[in-house]
Each structure stands twice: as C-alpha cells, then as structure tokens.
Structure 1
C-alpha cells in the first residue's frame, strides 16, 4: 500500500471511531468520509462494506488495547495499574460491544484476527494479574479465566448504566471489592 493510501486508511479508521462513538454504529459512511476529509469512494476502496469498516475499527481498538495491556504488565505499581487497566477495559468494552452487536446483527462474525489480538490481550492480562496478586492487591485464588467473565459482566453493567458516571464508578468499586484479598 502506498504511503498516502496508508495515511488515508488510518484517517478513515480514526474518523470512523469518532463518528461511531458520537452517533452510534448506524451513522452513515458519508459522515465518516467527511470527518476523515476524504471522498466516500476512498472509504469504500479500503472498506468495501459498512460491516468491513466496523470490523476494522473494532480490531484496531483491540490492538491498541492489547498494547496498553502490555505496557500495564510492566508498570511500577502493579496493584493500582491492575485496577486502572480494568477500569479502562470496562469503559472500552461498552464501545466494543456496540461494534460487536452491530456486526452480529448484520450476520458478520469477527474474524480470526480478533482471536489473535484476544490471545495477545489475555497473555498480557495474565501478567498484569499475576503481578497485582504478588503485590497483594488481588486475591490469589483468581485466574484470568475467572477474571474475564467478571470484566465482561462489569462492562455490560457499565453499558446498562449509561452516562451516569457516578453510578458507574460506585458499581465498578463494588465489583472490584470482590477482587481484593480477604473477601
């Protein structure tokens, strides 16, 4: 891909994420093109369908999140980092769920690329969890397999709560209290 085509693709993905966050996944592709400063033909050259664009945005978000997990795995304060990372994951998951739900409604399964980044994220999360446990910030009897459903449930709860940030923070704090040692 030529450099200008790569830049256009990146601008379209960035614009799509912003437009979909502001207006939902049903926002027209024309709005994405306008926000990216490109013609709608450029959008469809890179993403032949709206579903392909949604899928690309979702995969791009997951890759960025996996990078954040890998950085969190090396943090100086593993306990604080663990809870901050989970909070970010919960916030990100509400948006991710919107993409996944829109793709599922269109009959599209997220491809193996999603599972590749998922494996990368799970591996980094295992390190973040282990370090937080070693620091005494997380109960020792929990593994990644137990943590993932907790985070998914918390993300769905945050999605259900909506824009009430105080209620969301209190709810997440209650969920997190169950992750702490001695419970």
Structure 2
C-alpha cells in the first residue's frame, strides 16, 4: 500500500487510528482486570467497535496483549520526558515511579498471556528494559546532578526495587502498600530531608 509516493506506506485513516486507540485503552482495562482469559468480545464492546474491527488491528489475543504492553511502556517513556522539566527533580522521579505501579498492575493481569507469546518474549523483555532504563536514567541523573538524591544508586537499582515491591504481594490493596513503600524508599534516597 502506498500513498502516492513510491515505497512509503499509507498512513492509517483517522477513524482507524481512533478505533485502534480505543481498543488498546479498553484492552488495558479488561485485560488488566481479567487476565489471560479476559473476553476479547468485552474489549470490543467496551471500545465501541465490532469484534471484526478488533481482529483487523490485532489478529490474535497475544498481539493485542503485546500492543497494550508496548503502549504502556511508551507512555512511561513519554511521562519521563514530560517530567524532565519539573522544577523538583525528586518529585519528578517519585511521580514516574508511582506511574509504574499502574503499569505493573496491568502487566500482572496480562502476565500469563504475555508468556504465551514466547517467541517475542525475549525481544519484548529487552525492549522494555531498554526503554524503561533510559527513561528512569534521565530523571535519576537530574536528581543526582541537583544534589537531591544519593549518587550511589543507578536506574537498574530503581527498577529492581520497583519490581520487588510490586511483585511482593498479590493481596487485595497491594497497590496502596506499594505506593506507601515507594514513598519511603524515595525519601531514603534524598539528601538532607
């Protein structure tokens, strides 16, 4: 498909792009709550599209799960970029880490389905690690340069801590506990607070 210029792919129609975005947003909610057995019909219904539209964009459940996952990662990268202008580098770092708790909540709901997509799991894991490490690095480096946080911690340390907190419990209310502990951790990183 070309848009008139040789070799250039045609951009999706605006309504097709909107439908895809609505499906991804609905899938995040449905899959995050229902896990790998969540109904794709429910995703389509919540998005306000027919099941055929869902399958036109995502040929199978794993493709939908992976698209939701990648979209969440990109939203976290974009958030880090937006927060890089925040006057308080510690508040920016804290806000970004807190946003990751919601991402992990979605990911927990989709974990089994993501495991099904084993062929792309290594690529997806590498992609996620690279993108999130780069995002948190820019916020952490800024906080360190400002003298606001300790300089003996790296982006990998922050991500490992976040994973440990988020996957430490599946009990109801785990997100609130993680957010509280996350605040304690960030406060412990700060110099002179």
Say whether the fold is shared (TM-score over 0.5).
Answer: yes
In the other structure, the counterpart of 2:172 is 162
Could you say what secondary structure the match of 1:109 adopts? helix
* Equivalent residue runs for 1:25-44 within 5 Å: 25-44=36-55
How far 1:46 sits from its partner (Å)?
1.0
How far 1:133 sits from its partner (Å)?
1.7
2:113 matches 1:102: yes
In the other structure, the counterpart of 2:181 is 171
**Residue of 15, 26, 31 corresponding to 1:15:** 26
How far 1:30 sits from its partner (Å)?
0.6
How far 1:101 sits from its partner (Å)?
3.5
CA displacement 1:2-26 (0-9 Å, x = unmatched) = 3322222122112211222343342
The change in CA–CA distance for 1:67 and 1:111 in structure 2 (over 3 A counts) is farther
Q: Distance in 1 between matches of 2:187 and 2:74?
A: 29
Out of 92-101 and 77-86, give the one that drifted further: 92-101
Larger radius of gyration: 2
In the other structure, the counterpart of 2:4 is none
The change in CA–CA distance for 1:69 and 1:25 in structure 2 (over 3 A counts) is farther
Contact 2:89 2:139 in 1 (8 A): yes
Contact 2:76 2:96 in 1 (8 A): no
Q: Distance in 2 between matches of 1:51 and 1:73?
A: 33
For structure 2, which runs of at least 5 residues remain unmatched after alignment? 1-11
Could you say what secondary structure the match of 2:151 adopts? coil
2:155 matches 1:144: yes
In the other structure, the counterpart of 2:5 is none
In the other structure, the counterpart of 1:58 is 69
Q: Distance in 1 between matches of 2:113 and 2:63?
A: 11
The change in CA–CA distance for 1:15 and 1:172 in structure 2 (over 3 A counts) is same
For structure 1, which runs of at least 5 residues remain unmatched after alignment? none
How far 1:156 sits from its partner (Å)?
1.5
In the other structure, the counterpart of 1:88 is 99
The change in CA–CA distance for 1:117 and 1:165 in structure 2 (over 3 A counts) is closer
Paired residues in the alignment total: 181
- TM-score, scaled to structure 1: 0.83
How far 1:120 sits from its partner (Å)?
3.5
2:143 matches 1:123: no
Q: Distance in 2 between matches of 1:13 and 1:167?
A: 28
